[in-house]
Amino acid sequence: MDAWRVASGQEQQPGALFSPLTEMAYSKGTEMFAEAIPGFVIQAVALVTSKEKSLVAVGSLLVSATTTAMTAASGFYDIDTDPSGRKRNPDATGLVPDQARTKAFLVLLALSFCQVLAKGVAMALLVVTDIRTLLYYIVGDVGLILAYKVATNDFHSYFPLPRAASFVVSLMLRVMVKVTVDFTGTLLYRIPVLLGGTSYCFTLVTSQISVLVAVHLYNKNFEPGEGQEKLDADSTWAAAITMVIGWVCLYAYFILRVAAPKKRWTLWSSKTGRQAIVENYTKGESDENKISIFRRNKILWEKEIGGQVREWTMANWATWDREKPEWFTAKAKSSVPDSYIPGEFLAGLGGANRVRRGSAAGSVRESFREAGEGA
């Protein structure tokens, strides 16, 4: 469904929460978080605890790491190079240069592969050594990021949802993003409205450190049971150090020789999602860019610039309705709350009964309608 909608150039429909490309990216992210990453760790646990390490099992593990890395790299690449996305969100996209894109993708793939393999096997070593230590690490690591988001008033996600639903979805999203970056390093989640540059850098560093710590604890504390065999200490240290050094070198190469120089700052920016959303409106050079504010959670911007945005829509709606610019579509109109639309035009849009952006039921109905038409 996702691939068909993107490949056929489907536009975001009124009432749908995401564009087809964004929906596909989040589908990939959910698949990595809920299936690929835990599946890889389970596979690694089976391998490290088996008495005989067959080449088939090792090859299968490498294939799993490659496919997960491919998902992470392609998800970021698709969003970052999307022309319409670059136009709407210039600060969040454009890290992949216009030239040598094949090289950029291969470097991204290699980066994710190193992180998936090293982190996944390291967590498998912790599973067999001391599962409680692993749980304490995960809870503490994720909890630290959540605390940072709360402290910086940046907990709520950018999805345009009611406050109660926003809290639940934001908690799920923060956990999913943190764990996925931990294991894959995907650059898609570095942007302020997701993890943010500061948290992204912190996660990358702690992820590499955790690999070395896991190997140390395994070599020190693991006692093989019946039918198990402990991995050689020298071999595990050599593999871990090689993977970490390889990842550091690849990351440095990506920053210095691959990434677009003008967008490198997004890798370590301390800008919050709230700040990014407000700036995207206040610094927007066109009405088309500014109206995207309504595709963002009102919790993040209405208190600060809600009055300014309302004055803008009230003053310009009649002009837009008369001139009908290309961007002033049914989708754009449906994203604007009733209180931001002049009363004389609200009735023509269906008033309070019109399809609202972010309606889960509307989004599901629209997806099934499109599937029927495509068939």
Same-domain pairing of 313 and 263: no
Average pLDDT, the chain: 87
Same-domain pairing of 73 and 215: yes
Same-domain pairing of 174 and 244: yes
Q: Is the pLDDT of residue 26 over 70?
A: yes
- Residue 371 counted as domain residue: no
Same-domain pairing of 235 and 316: no
The last residue of one of the domains, among 269, 287, 322, is: 269
For residue 363, the model assigns a pLDDT of 43
Locus of tokens 């301390």: 270
- Residue 231 counted as domain residue: yes
The last residue of one of the domains, among 269, 287, 308, is: 269
Same-domain pairing of 81 and 148: yes
- Residue 7 counted as domain residue: no
Q: Is the pLDDT of residue 19 over 60?
A: yes
Number of domains the chain contains: 2
- Mean pLDDT of all residues in 219-247: 91
Contact status, residue 18 vs residue 12, Cβ threshold 8 Å: yes
Same-domain pairing of 260 and 317: no
Q: Is the pLDDT of residue 332 over 60?
A: yes
Q: Is the pLDDT of residue 53 over 90?
A: no
- Residue 204 counted as domain residue: yes
pLDDT class of 9 with cuts at 50, 70, 90: low
- pLDDT (tens digit, 9 = 90+) per residue, 82-123? 887 787 778 789 999 998 899 999 999 999 999 999 999 999
- pLDDT (tens digit, 9 = 90+) per residue, 249-299? 999 999 999 999 999 999 999 999 999 999 989 988 889 889 989 989 999
Same-domain pairing of 107 and 126: yes
Contact status, residue 264 vs residue 197, Cβ threshold 8 Å: no
Angle, helix 101-129 to helix 197-221, in steps of 10 degrees: 40
Contact status, residue 66 vs residue 184, Cβ threshold 8 Å: no
d(CA 208, CA 183): 10
For residue 15, the model assigns a pLDDT of 56
pLDDT class of 361 with cuts at 50, 70, 90: very low
Q: Which domain holds residue 279?
A: 274-358
Same-domain pairing of 294 and 323: yes
- Residue 375 counted as domain residue: no
Same-domain pairing of 48 and 195: yes
Burial of 18 (0-12, 13-18, 19+ CB in 10 A): middle
Virtual torsion, Cα 164, 33, 38, 172, nearest 10 deg:
-10
Please state, in angstroms and as integers, the Cα–Cα distance from residue 57 to each residue in 54, 188, 230, 243, 259, following that order.
5, 31, 17, 20, 35
Same-domain pairing of 334 and 208: no
- Residue 169 counted as domain residue: yes
Same-domain pairing of 196 and 345: no
For residue 364, the model assigns a pLDDT of 42
- Residue 113 counted as domain residue: yes
- Residue 2 counted as domain residue: no
- pLDDT (tens digit, 9 = 90+) per residue, 162-197? 899 999 999 999 999 999 999 999 999 999 999 999
The last residue of one of the domains, among 242, 269, 296, is: 269
Same-domain pairing of 264 and 337: no
